[in-house]
């Protein structure tokens, strides 16, 4: 199912929330997402894990433009050659000496112009809001909480058919037939269409949420912790259904979760986030067998093993996650890292490819 075509490419994504209050109004920013680079190939599932408050949900919502990113670009279906050209141009621009003051050198202007040209075509940031609204056909989301994600005063039929009505894709008898088949696709009964959300269980509601997301036949679906509000037995059902739907319709998933077991079950590649940044990104087996970042290592060590006799060496992280309003200097993880060195406090490690699509942001790992 997976192809080499990159469906969506997130480059330098930033979301800073202003902190309101105090006498002078804004007193700083919460850096919820601070320079995230990820791309998702068509047909693959990318996992995004991290503890609460690390910015993983914000990343997902920024990708869909449910909250407006404060920086960075999200490119949709950019052909590979143009992508490599863009990366080249960006690197060139970074290499150029800073222009003195506000004056820009002609070279700088030329490169910026070319980058702008590409962005105008492929970056979601540069699209007018109306075409962004039309774009929502291609990207959908399944929310975490199935209880508040369905309007209590709408029939299931209306909830599922609303996207199609909004985009003027179908109506009348055709729509009815389509909605009926859609609700069967997610494992519910067409009789259920004429009921209100409060008549369903959590798992059933999540299925309705999935049906709504699939109604427009999107290419990318962001799954924002789709199972964390459900019972364990129901979780497995939903995950299986999602897997099934993916292979049937060739969907691409961004699977946001803090549950590593389900990430392991669902994903092709996994990105680990800490304090608004990606610290490690690798294919699933690689990441689970050879974690290189100490944070990933700690996360993996606490996955429960269903065997009471198994002896495990749990690495517990000491301390709290630092405030994203005032992240630590250098490597953001150094305050809790057991391998901390002096330079970790000074220098921020870049996210480097150490071979085999394994990216990690740690001085120790890249030195190896």
Partner 1 sequence: MPISTQGSDWGEIMVTESKPSNPIASTEGVVSEVHGAPFDGEVPTKSGMTTDDLMEELRPRIREIKNSWSLIRGNWTAMMGLMLISFVVGVALLAPILSPVAPFADPLRLPMDFGTPVPPFTPGHPLGTGEDGADLWHGLVWGARITITTSLYVVLTAALIGLVLGAVSGYYGGKVDEVIMRLTDIFLSLPALILAMAVAAVLPRTMENMMFALVLVWWPAYARLIRGQVLSVRENTYVEAARAIGAKKGRILFKHIVPNSISPLVVSITMDLGAVALTAAALSFIGFGVESGYAEWGRMASDGQKWMFALVEYEGIKYTAWWVATIPSLAIFIFTMGFTLIGDGLRDILDPRLRRS
* Listed ranges 92-100, 169-177, 265-273, 295-303: which one lies at the site for partner 1 (CB under 8 A): 169-177
* 3-state SS, residue 246: helix
Q: Does 77 bind partner 1 (CB under 8 A)?
A: yes
Q: Does 171 bind partner 1 (CB under 8 A)?
A: yes
Q: Which of 54, 63 has the CB closer to partner 1?
A: 63
Q: Does 301 bind partner 1 (CB under 8 A)?
A: no
Q: Does 133 bind partner 1 (CB under 8 A)?
A: yes
Q: Does 64 bind partner 1 (CB under 8 A)?
A: yes
For the beta sheet containing 71-76, the strands, ordered from the edge strand earlier in sequence to the opposite edge, are 29-41, 6-18, 71-76
Interacting residue with partner 1 among 3, 19, 28, 66 (CB under 8 A): 66
* Listed ranges 189-197, 305-313, 324-332, 353-361: which one lies at the site for partner 1 (CB under 8 A): 189-197
Q: Tokens at residue 355, please?
A: 């071979």
Taking Cα atoms as reference points, which of 30, 80, 86 lies closest to residue 58?
A: 30
Phi, psi of 216 (to 5 degrees): -90, 10
Residues 198-227 that bind partner 1 (CB under 8 A): 198, 209, 212, 214-217, 219
* Listed ranges 136-144, 297-305, 319-327, 348-356: which one lies at the site for partner 1 (CB under 8 A): 136-144
List helix spans (H) across 136-275: 156-166, 172-185, 202-214, 232-249, 260-266
Interacting residue with partner 1 among 107, 116, 117, 177 (CB under 8 A): 177
Q: Does 25 bind partner 1 (CB under 8 A)?
A: no
Between 241 and 260, how does the x/- string for binding to partner 1 read (CB under 8 A)? -------xx-----------
The C-alpha atoms of residue 199 and residue 215 are separated, in whole angstroms, by: 21
Interacting residue with partner 1 among 14, 29, 138, 228 (CB under 8 A): 138
- Residue 108, phi-psi category: left (phi > 0), alpha (psi -120 to 50), beta (remainder): alpha
C-beta neighbour count of 219 within 10 angstroms: 19
| Structural contact between residues 41 and 263, judged by C-beta atoms closer than 8 angstroms | no
Q: Does 153 bind partner 1 (CB under 8 A)?
A: yes
Residue 150 CB, nearest approach to partner 1 (Å): 6
**Strand runs labelled E in the chain:** 6-18, 29-41, 45-49, 71-76, 139-142, 220-224, 252-257, 269-274, 277-283, 352-353, 359-360
Q: Which of 195, 364 has the CB closer to partner 1?
A: 195
* Residues in Cβ contact with 204 at an 8 Å cutoff, skipping those fewer than 6 apart: 188, 192
Binding stretches for partner 1 (CB under 8 A): 64, 66, 76-77, 79, 121-122, 124, 127, 131, 133-138, 140-141, 143-145, 148-155, 162-163, 166-174, 177-178, 181-182, 185, 194-196, 198, 209, 212, 214-217, 219, 248-249
């Amino acid at each position: 199912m997976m192809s080499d075509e990159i469906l969506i490419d997130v480059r330098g994504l930033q979301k800073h929330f202003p902190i309101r209050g105090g006498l002078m109004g804004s007193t700083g920013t919460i850096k919820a997402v601070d320079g995230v680079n990820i791309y998702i190939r068509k047909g693959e599932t990318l996992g995004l894990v991290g503890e609460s408050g690390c910015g993983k949900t914000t990343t997902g919502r920024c990708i869909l433009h449910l909250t407006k990113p404060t920086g960075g670009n999200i490119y949709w279906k950019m052909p590979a050659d143009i992508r490599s050209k863009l990366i080249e141009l960006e690197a060139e621009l970074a290499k150029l000496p800073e222009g003195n003051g506000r004056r820009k050198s002609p070279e700088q202007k030329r490169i910026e112009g070319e980058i702008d040209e590409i962005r105008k075509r492929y970056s979601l940031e540069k699209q007018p809001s109306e075409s962004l609204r039309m774009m929502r056909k291609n990207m959908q989301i399944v929310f975490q909480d199935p209880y508040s994600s369905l309007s209590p005063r709408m029939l299931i039929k209306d909830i599922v058919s609303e996207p199609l009505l909004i985009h003027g894709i179908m109506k009348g008898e055709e729509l009815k037939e389509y909605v009926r088949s859609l609700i069967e696709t997610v494992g519910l009964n067409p009789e259920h269409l004429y009921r209100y959300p409060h008549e369903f269980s959590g798992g059933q509601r999540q299925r309705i949420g999935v049906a709504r997301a699939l109604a427009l036949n999107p290419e990318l679906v962001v799954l924002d912790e789709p199972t964390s509000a459900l019972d364990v037995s129901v979780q497995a059902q939903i995950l299986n259904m999602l897997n099934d739907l993916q292979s049937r319709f060739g969907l691409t998933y961004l699977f946001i979760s803090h549950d590593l077991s389900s990430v392991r079950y669902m994903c092709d590649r996994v990105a680990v986030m800490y304090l608004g940044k990606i610290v490690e990104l690798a294919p699933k087996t690689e990441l689970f067998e050879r974690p290189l970042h100490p944070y990933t290592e700690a996360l993996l060590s606490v996955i429960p093993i269903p065997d009471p006799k198994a002896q495990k060496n749990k690495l517990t992280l000491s301390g709290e996650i630092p405030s994203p309003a005032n992240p630590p200097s250098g490597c953001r993880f150094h305050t809790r890292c057991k391998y901390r060195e002096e330079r970790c406090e000074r220098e921020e490690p870049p996210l480097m490819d150490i071979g085999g699509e394994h990216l990690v942001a740690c001085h120790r790992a890249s030195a190896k």
